[in-house]
Amino acid sequence: MKKIVVLSPAYNEEQSIASVLRKIPRKWKADIQVEVVVIDDGSTDRTAEIALQEGAEVFSHTRNMGLGVAFRKGLHRGLEKGADVIVNIDADGQFNAEDIPKLVEPILQGKAGFVTASRFKSADLRPKMPLIKRIGNRFISCVISRIVGGKYKDVSCGFRAYSRDAALKLNLFGRFTYTQETFIDLAVKDVSILEVPVKVTGERRFGKSKISSNLFVYGFKTMRIIIGALRDFKPMVLFTFFSLFWFVIGSITGIFFMDHYLRTGSFRPQTWAVFVSAGSFLLALFLMITGLVMNMFGRMRINQEKLIFFARKNYYDKYSNSDKDISNAL
């Protein structure tokens, strides 16, 4: 018997949560057992009450702590329940819960460790959404694809499935969201990633998005998470970029000063360029050295992540299907 735990982080989703939970397939194969967990992230409406009425297990935060925190809480609960596959689906109704088998089957068949629904992989299934959101999604997807060395169309989707091992390997820190950080974290740990095209609703039926209602704030917070993941896993990429930036600034101002000196035979009035050029070169050197040091720490982190994986595996395997709540332990 394979156990599938479906997670649904929710914040003030009383108008859509019931519809989402009712559409979750409970048994599409004889050897499949499905359990549903709703993480109520400090809702002030009837979200938790409705989820309980629909038969879900509900964990409630006393205040809104962010999607990233809610996802980690659900992930730990899924592991503690002994899930073979953990599925995450947003509670806003944009995704069709009946598509869950499409994400789960590749994992059960051993074809992937992490399967994500894709809104943009198939041209026939691309949803209608504001142009600025489409451009933003494409830009973030290009950035993440370049970082992890793959080619992905949708890295911000909230409808995904994780094998047990993939979930055990995840080590996330973002509070605002988790979607892009997950791609980087699993890719650098060599977890096979598969995108599955699905049909979704491009815009919410009820209310506004809690995550992307302000695209500038969303973009800033998302890039901060991406930069943090780069710092931890690929520091040479991050610090080399900034080092090259200041090296170019130093080169431009240095060439400008030398051109002025060769033409006039005088340092004045462009003496400032010497200081700017020298300061930029020193900063570039400092950033490159910092990158080398951080790269050393990055290698140490890889070893630590492996130890964390085995520790978690032993811990959750020991407590699977028990009544002990360890969701806050890790």
What does the pLDDT read at residue 317?
Answer: 82
Chain segment 96-120, per-residue pLDDT in tens? 999 999 999 999 999 999 999 998 8
pLDDT for residue 289 is more than 80: yes
Mean pLDDT for the stretch of residues 279-283: 95
What does the pLDDT read at residue 132?
Answer: 75
Chain segment 166-185, per-residue pLDDT in tens? 999 998 887 877 888 888 88
pLDDT for residue 326 is more than 50: no
Backbone angles phi, psi at 170, to 5 degrees: -65, 130
Higher-scoring residue by pLDDT: 78, 297: 78
Confidence band (pLDDT; 50, 70, 90) for 327? very low
DSSP string of 240-270? HHHHHHHHHHHHHHHHHHHHHHHHHS--TT-
For residues 186 and 154, is the Cβ–Cβ distance under 8 A? Answer: no
pLDDT for residue 276 is more than 90: yes
Among 50-54, 126-130, 291-295, whose mean pLDDT is lowest? 126-130
- Mean pLDDT for the chain? 86
Higher-scoring residue by pLDDT: 282, 238: 282
Among 58-62, 79-83, 136-140, 250-254, whose mean pLDDT is lowest? 136-140
Confidence band (pLDDT; 50, 70, 90) for 223? confident
DSSP string of 44-82? SSSHHHHHHHTT-EEEE-SS---HHHHHHHHHHHHHHTT
pLDDT for residue 35 is more than 70: yes
Backbone angles phi, psi at 140, to 5 degrees: -65, -40
Mean pLDDT for the stretch of residues 33-60: 94
Chain segment 300-323, per-residue pLDDT in tens? 777 888 888 888 888 888 766 555
Mean pLDDT for the stretch of residues 230-253: 88
Mean pLDDT for the stretch of residues 267-284: 90
The token duo for 249 is 């600034």
Residue percentage of the chain with pLDDT more than 70 = 92
The structure's pTM equals 0.76
What does the pLDDT read at residue 213?
Answer: 52
Separation CA 284–CA 229 (nearest Å): 21
What does the pLDDT read at residue 42?
Answer: 93
pLDDT for residue 296 is more than 60: yes
Separation CA 163–CA 254 (nearest Å): 54
Confidence band (pLDDT; 50, 70, 90) for 328? very low
Higher-scoring residue by pLDDT: 303, 275: 275
Parallel, antiparallel, or unpaired: how do β-strands 57-60 and 114-118 relate?
unpaired
Higher-scoring residue by pLDDT: 202, 296: 296
Mean pLDDT for the stretch of residues 208-214: 55
